[in-house]
Amino acid sequence: MEISDKLLCLFSADVSDDGDRYVVEVPKREIETGAVEPGETYRVALISSEVERAEDTDEDNVPSEPQPPVEAGEIRYVEIEDIGKQGDGIARVERGYVIIVPGADVGERVKVEVTEVKSNFAVGEIIDEDL
């Protein structure tokens, strides 16, 4: 699946029945961090929570460990949640996977390009600050 560079935020939510319409709730943190603004209109993509399985799976090609959720060269919008021991920003994405962002501060939302990918962390270079 290809994800647009225009992705503002990514979260899981339930769809609730509200009489003559259905509602997807946006987490408060997405409003607080400025990812989305109340009263604005956005395009929404819904992705099934069910895991899709290929019919022709070859068990010999299945990796024994989970693969990193990012690839080198990928562009991501991340929020810096912590500062590492050497002063670099720390962001967490899918499954708690860490992206180290040199020069970022806690609370910043930045657009990064993933420059290096390891099994348990990646390094990202800031492209845009304060998104």
Q: Looking at the domain assignment, is residue 85 inside a domain?
A: yes
Number of compact structural domains in the chain: 1
- And the tokens for 76? 């991501």
83 assigned to some structural domain: yes
Does residue 10 belong to any structural domain of this protein?
no
CATH number of the CATH domain containing 96: 2.40.50.140
Residue 105 within a domain = yes
Distance CA 67, CA 81 (A): 22
d(CA 98, CA 102): 13
- Decide if 112 is inside a domain: yes
Residue 118, both tokens: 């390891």
Question: Is residue 20 situated within a structural domain?
Answer: no
Residue 102, in any domain of the structure = yes
Domain residue limits at 118: 74-126
> 28 in a domain, yes or no?
no
Sign of the CA dihedral with 95 first, then 40, 29, and 87 last: positive
Task: Catalogue the E-assigned strands of 1-130.
Answer: 15-17, 22-24, 75-79, 82-83, 89-92, 98-101, 109-117, 121-128
Q: What's the whole-model pTM score?
A: 0.53
Q: In tens digits, what is the pLDDT along the chain, a chain of 131 residues?
A: 566 666 777 777 788 899 999 888 887 777 777 667 888 888 887 777 665 555 555 555 656 667 899 999 999 999 999 999 899 999 999 888 999 999 999 999 999 999 999 989 999 999 977 65
* Three-state SS at 123: strand
d(CA 116, CA 131): 22
